[in-house]
Amino acid sequence: MKKVSFYVGKKNFITFIIASLILLYAIYAFSDNVIYFFSDDTPIDLGDALELNTENFAKVKDGDYVQIKGITSIQGGNIKKGVTGERHVVYYLNGSSKFIIDSAVTGEDSFSGPHYRTVKGRAFAFKTNSKAAKMQAFFANSLYLDMKDDGFFIEDGVVPRSDYAGLFMFVFFILLMVLNVFFFIKPIKRETTQEDIDRELEELFDSGADNDRKDR
């Protein structure tokens, strides 16, 4: 009877472990984007920056979808994001030291001066998110503005079910992980026992003997 067993060489095993660790990290890195993609598209309303809804503010967690209204500040900075170099403006809301906003600049919204606006986007906590913490440090070191540690960095315009790139990358790395596992277990060898060898020899000799009888 032939027995099938998995056969994996040492090099294949090491390659599999390294590839698995890299892919698992990539899947984990994009998992937050997927969770946000399928989250509720009704934002947590924080009210006005000057009259903050403290009850809702206490509910906000890192990565939540929020809404805040206020007057944009004059101080801030311009940055270019992505491969296309899309222009963004980073600012805070006057009268509040809890929010730093990142908004894309469009033809209809040039940010030429202070104006009252409604910001809807994804919030990242200064305390727990490294990107938000870096933005808080930038405001403190470059603009000499101390933003409160319990505040948030908000990416304006980033709403649930809008970022398909993150969802695509998550699915892509999942598929790579499946292929990685498949190609790890694919190399197999069939182990032939002594019984199989003896049986095949007997069948061979028996068939040869039958042929000799027919010839005679």
Residue ranges of domains in the chain: 3-27+168-215, 41-160
- At residue 64, the 3 state secondary structure works out as coil
Mean pLDDT for the stretch of residues 118-147: 94
- DSSP structural state of residue 143: S
Q: Under CATH, which number does the domain 41-160 receive?
A: 2.40.50
- DSSP structural state of residue 86: E
The model's confidence at residue 138, banded by pLDDT at 50, 70 and 90, is very high
Query: What's the pLDDT at 115?
Result: 87
In whole angstroms, what is the distance from residue 48 CA to residue 98 CA?
12
210, pLDDT greater than 60:
no
Query: What's the pLDDT at 211?
Result: 52
Q: Are 165 and 34 in contact (CB under 8 A)?
A: no
Residue 121 has a CB neighbour count (10 Å cut-off) of 21
5, pLDDT greater than 90:
no
In the chain, pLDDT over 70 holds for what percent of residues?
79
Backbone angles phi, psi at 88, to 5 degrees: -125, 150
- In which element (H, E) is residue 127 found? none
Mean pLDDT for the stretch of residues 190-216: 60
How high is the mean pLDDT of the chain? 84
Handedness of CA 132, 141, 144, 89 (dihedral sign): negative
- CB neighbour list of residue 142: distance below 8 Å, 6 or more residues apart: 77
The model's confidence at residue 93, banded by pLDDT at 50, 70 and 90, is very high
Mean pLDDT for the stretch of residues 21-38: 93
